[in-house]
Structure 1
Amino acid sequence: MEEKNKAVKDIDNLKHRLSQIAGSKLTDNNPGIADLSDPNRPLNLGEKFSELYDNQWTDALEEMDSKFKNEKQTIQNLLEIVRELSSLQLKLTKDYRKSMAVHLVSDLEEEFCNGKNDGEHISSYRRQCIRVCWFMAVQDPPVFIDVKENVTGKKFDTDKYKYYTNTGKAFDYLVWPVLYLHKDGPVIGKGVAQGK
């Protein structure tokens, strides 16, 4: 009975994790699908931005206009605040994300390693993958790992790949992905592939 309860609990845990992964893959880089639990999703932010114009902007216009007596200049001053904050905010967000990455990586490791029955070396490999990939993802722009490239049967490109155990003029299969400074950027780490 105890084993059955443990199995049911494990299944529920796996279902929950699978649901989270499926949800994140569905919404990742897909602005057409919104996370309805997020109060700061794009549509809500659009509404808040419109309300900002309708409410605070109008009050600020009246207050600033009473000082400067030039509506056009006042409007330009208010618009400049948005411009400054949007570019500053982008820089600050990127800097903050990068500085917080060090503090968040342990939580990510726990999330992706929890419940795995890996051996010591696989566990260490998994944790180091999470750590290195996380820090690459928070760069501006993110470092790009070409994990989807299908090289099988193509001409072996020694500018991008090192041979695994066999050399040859064509690729047999991918062993390790190529690393680029950013998407469509220069290679910063050669991949490894089996030649044939």
Structure 2
Amino acid sequence: MSSPKQVPTKFNPGLGEGVYDYFIRNYLTHWFEAKTVPPHVYTRAMNELVLLNKKKKSKQADKDRKVTVSKQNIDSEREEVTKLGERPSSASVARRNQSKQEQASGSRNVQLENDQLKSENLALQDQLSKAYMELQDKATRLHRMKEDLKNSLQEVNDLKIRLSKLYGDKLRDNNPDLADQCDANRPTELGKRFLEIYDNEWSDAFENKAKKDEKEKVGILHEVVVDAFYYCNEKFKGQVPQIRGIFLQSKDGQQKVSVSKNAQMIKSLNDLRMQLSTEAARNVAQEYSTSSLASILQRLCINSGDIDPALRKYAFSCAEICWLLLVWNDQLSLSEDKEGVPFDQETYKPFTRRLSDMEQPTVEFVVWPALCQEFGVLVKGVAQPKAGKRKPLDLQR
């Protein structure tokens, strides 16, 4: 469907063109196609235009008929004069004068009708001008109302977004379990990744230590993950005073501030630390696996030259996941791994032995620590069970 033509900027009918006809063709039809004029207004205007044209055609036909009659009379008289070759008779003169009078009378009538039509056209032009101004005014007000409505809707949407964000922040404040479900670093996902390190990097590092027995290799790898957690926790706890000292321009970061400002500062630091947690975790893990790992293994009588790539990758992954866990939930801790205590199935899964064959099993050694939070165990660890009492054989089975 073609777009409607543009409305003329000036109201300028052509010579001999009806004002009403000009207005309908150049204005009202455009408004009707643009759906700014109701159909009944357009239909009524077209009906009035049809009636006006019929009236004009009727008057023009009468005028043409009278002019034709007068012309025929004149031509008839001329023919008679030409035929007789003499001066017209008094009767012909009387007829000619009568014809002239009728012609003059017809001309006066036509002039009166033309004057009347001009007066009617002027009145219609005035009415149409007023209607045009009213329509323009309504269109302007309608456009203004649409803009106000659009701005109001935008303000409402902005307020909804701000309210939703504020409500979400309030819910997640000191409650890491309500983290964004689309975030890969939410605590539940980090817990899965913590256990995946045991399934992947731990297994690779364990297999590469071929010269040591099982319990010794397990002890080395357990020491690394526990030390990585406390290494990250120490750096994590010391980070806030350092950054606060930079902001407050004090050496120890203990300059007195109001309680509300202190809480706001801590929240801002936590938000910033979460945003940069992925990059920071890599940096901490790199530092731990290159500079700190050797000193830890030295205590276990392992030389730095014996650190193979699988063990270094394992140490890197442990430090990286521990940093992310502490950033997103600083209340996390590792289980207190002790040997000889009763085997707690809520805390550990068995390593290579079946609990069904044992009575009152105890922990022989811990393979992988459990990840604990304030209200219980978030991720179970792995330990090797040992029978406290051997289960008697069922001879009747």
- The 1:98/1:191 distance shift into structure 2, 3 A limit, reads same
Equivalent in the alignment of 1:88: 264
Mapped partners of 1:107, 1:43: distance in 2? 25
From 364, 371, 376, give the equivalent of 1:172.
Answer: 364
Deviation at 1:158, TM superposition (A): 0.9
Equivalent in the alignment of 2:245: 40
- The 1:125/1:87 distance shift into structure 2, 3 A limit, reads same
Equivalent in the alignment of 2:337: 149
Give 2:369's aligned amino acid.
Answer: P
Mapped partners of 1:39, 1:170: distance in 2? 47
Mapped partners of 2:263, 2:244: distance in 1? 23
Mapped partners of 1:143, 1:110: distance in 2? 22
Instruction: Tell me, yes or no, if structure 1 residue 130 matches structure 2 residue 338.
Output: no
* Contact 2:363/2:383 (<8 A) preserved: yes
Which of these two proteins has the greater Rg computed from alpha carbons? 2
Give 1:171's aligned amino acid.
Answer: V
Equivalent in the alignment of 1:161: 348
Give 2:330's aligned amino acid.
Answer: P
Number of residue-to-residue matches in the alignment? 130
Identity of aligned residues (%): 20
Mapped partners of 1:144, 1:98: distance in 2? 19
Taking the TM superposition and a 5 Å limit, the aligned residue runs for 1:2-17 are none
Equivalent in the alignment of 2:281: 105
Instruction: Tell me, yes or no, if structure 1 residue 193 matches structure 2 residue 380.
Output: no
* Contact 1:136/1:142 (<8 A) preserved: no
Q: Tell me the TM-score normalised to structure 2 length.
A: 0.29
Deviation at 1:171, TM superposition (A): 1.4
Equivalent in the alignment of 1:79: none
- Gaps spanning 5+ residues in structure 2: where? 1-226, 236-241, 292-303, 387-397
Mapped partners of 1:105, 1:92: distance in 2? 19
Equivalent in the alignment of 1:139: 328
- The 1:175/1:44 distance shift into structure 2, 3 A limit, reads closer
Bigger fraction of residues in strand: 1
Mapped partners of 1:135, 1:39: distance in 2? 21
* Contact 2:368/2:383 (<8 A) preserved: yes
Give 1:89's aligned amino acid.
Answer: M
Mapped partners of 1:38, 1:83: distance in 2? 17
Deviation at 1:43, TM superposition (A): 7.9
Give 2:337's aligned amino acid.
Answer: E
- The 1:164/1:97 distance shift into structure 2, 3 A limit, reads same
* Contact 1:162/1:192 (<8 A) preserved: yes
Deviation at 1:108, TM superposition (A): 1.5
Give 1:187's aligned amino acid.
Answer: V
Q: Deviations over 1:140-178 (max 9, x none)?
A: 3342222x431x222211111110112342211111111
Deviation at 1:109, TM superposition (A): 2.3
- Gaps spanning 5+ residues in structure 1: where? 1-20, 30-36, 53-81
Task: Determine helix, strand or coil for the equivalent of 1:171.
Answer: strand
Task: Determine helix, strand or coil for the equivalent of 1:138.
Answer: helix
Mapped partners of 1:39, 1:96: distance in 2? 13
Task: Determine helix, strand or coil for the equivalent of 1:149.
Answer: coil
Measured on the aligned residues, the alpha-carbon RMSD in Å equals 3.5
Mapped partners of 1:39, 1:94: distance in 2? 12
Task: Determine helix, strand or coil for the equivalent of 2:378.
Answer: strand
Give 1:131's aligned amino acid.
Answer: E
Equivalent in the alignment of 1:63: none
Equivalent in the alignment of 1:5: none
Q: Tell me the TM-score normalised to structure 1 length.
A: 0.54
Task: Determine helix, strand or coil for the equivalent of 1:193.
Answer: strand
* Contact 1:137/1:143 (<8 A) preserved: yes
